[in-house]
Structure 1
Amino acid sequence: MLCEGAIMIALSLVLGLLKVFELPQGGSVSLEMLPLLLFCVRWGMGGGLIACFAFGILQVFIQGAVSWGWQSILLDYVLAFGVIGVAGLGKGKPGGIFWGSILGGAARFIIHYISGITIYKIVAPTEIFGTVFDNPSLYSLVYNGSYVGIDIVLCLVIFGILYAPLKKYFTGADLKK
């Protein structure tokens, strides 16, 4: 588990550097959640939380952090990526890779959303996607939803394509004795 966790964290860090697009206040579309979600669903929530928190901490140092102080680093990196570990609740369950991914991605979004309405409200009013936002709650919903939602959908599509040939790995059947 330890070796697989280290490999998945490293792969996530590399995939996080390959961004489809990046938003001005941080946040980007990438496949960095893919290996983390797979690890969580294979090994469960305990190991998943540890691996995801480790990824969040390493991400600050390796990929760099866009922040407005230590609070936003704690929320947008350590906690937001750490809670992806709840995807581990899908371990051993039918379709666990899919609903676990949705659960982990939703948990990440919730932390980013909280960060947006508490810390990043200082940038309001602001414009994004051609619309000016005065309301920090709506801004955070649109801003964070725009990239986290796409990340979740990309992961689900890739897991859907790979599910039939790699089902025993997605369900952790290869780990059973």
Structure 2
Amino acid sequence: MALQHFFESAGGKGLTVAVAAALLIVAAFAGKKRANQTQSPQVQRFDTRALVVSALCIALSFVLAQIRLFKLPQGGSVTAFSMLPIALCAYLFGVKWGVLAGVCLGLMNLMFDPYVIHPAQLLIDYILAFGALGIGGVFRNQKKGLLKGYLLGIFGRYVCAVASGVIFFRAYVPKNFNAWTWSLWYNFTYIAAEGVMTVIVLCIPAVSRTFEGMRTKIDAGRA
């Protein structure tokens, strides 16, 4: 449990914040470099906007995650739409910013609520699982792109959660279950429950039009 104690320490928390900040700064700097090479101020403003909005999405997602509607005994919670802001970030700015925002969110969770028993488990549960929420950006230009992207993102997180459960938490599997069956069902319960609630909201015409309008304005500023 040495890793657990490290991330609970002030030094561990400081390092986590530094890594998250560095990821955002590097991404913004890379965007500015491309802008200078092409001499396009529009692209530079877009990267600045992506940095600010991504940070807001990360913060909003973290706050919503603290509103736990239901918490399972062995980890995992149904929260107040906490996965949606990361999917929205990917929808507005693409896969790169979505995955980056997800990774930063995972690092924030690692800083405030760490549970680490192995370096590979840390990678799966806090980096890959939350980063996967941003892969739905591949659908950003498609009809109902946010809805499709959200579903792909939470599926990616589900895959990571199942893998972690099978590899690292099989000791908690009840009798009459094997590790795969239990992990598939256990992680499905809370991810699917929150997913269904979020999909219902995203299917409200006014909500979908609002997000589509945001993306249209951002794309216009990027052109």
Richer in helix (by share): 2
Q: Using the alignment, how far apart are the partners of 2:194 and 2:115 within structure 1? A: 19
Deviation, 1:133, is 4.4
Shifted more, 3-12 versus 157-166: the winner is: 157-166
Equivalent in the alignment of 1:151 = 194
Q: Using the alignment, how far apart are the partners of 1:168 and 1:24 within structure 2? A: 40
AA matched with 1:40:
A
Equivalent in the alignment of 1:23 = 72
Shifted more, 154-163 versus 16-25: the winner is: 154-163
Matched residue pairs, number? 168
Normalised to the residue count of structure 1, the TM-score between the two structures is 0.89
Q: Using the alignment, how far apart are the partners of 2:116 and 2:75 within structure 1? A: 8
Query: Is 1:46 matched with 2:89?
Result: no
Q: Is the 8 A contact 1:133 1:139 kept in 2?
A: no
Q: Using the alignment, how far apart are the partners of 1:120 and 1:60 within structure 2? A: 18
Equivalent in the alignment of 1:120 = 169
Shifted more, 68-77 versus 29-38: the winner is: 68-77
Q: Using the alignment, how far apart are the partners of 2:176 and 2:203 within structure 1? A: 36
Candidates 84, 100, 114, aligned match of 1:65:
114
Equivalent in the alignment of 1:164 = 209
Query: Is 1:74 matched with 2:123?
Result: yes
4+ runs deviating over 4 angstroms: none
Q: Using the alignment, how far apart are the partners of 1:24 and 1:71 within structure 2? A: 23
Deviation, 1:73, is 2.6
Q: Using the alignment, how far apart are the partners of 2:57 and 2:108 within structure 1? A: 13
Candidates 78, 82, 88, aligned match of 2:137:
88
Equivalent in the alignment of 2:59 = 10
Q: Using the alignment, how far apart are the partners of 2:115 and 2:76 within structure 1? A: 8
Q: Using the alignment, how far apart are the partners of 2:171 and 2:130 within structure 1? A: 23
Could you say which structure has the larger radius of gyration?
2
Identity of aligned residues (%): 29
Alignment of 1:99-138 (within 5 A): 99-124=148-173, 126=174, 132-138=175-181
Please state whether the residue corresponding to 1:174 is helix, strand or coil: helix
Q: Residues 68-105 of structure 1, C-alpha deviation per residue, up to 9 Å, x if partnerless?
A: 44433321222111111111111121110111111111
**Structure 1 unmatched ranges of 5 or more:** 127-131
Normalised to the residue count of structure 2, the TM-score between the two structures is 0.71
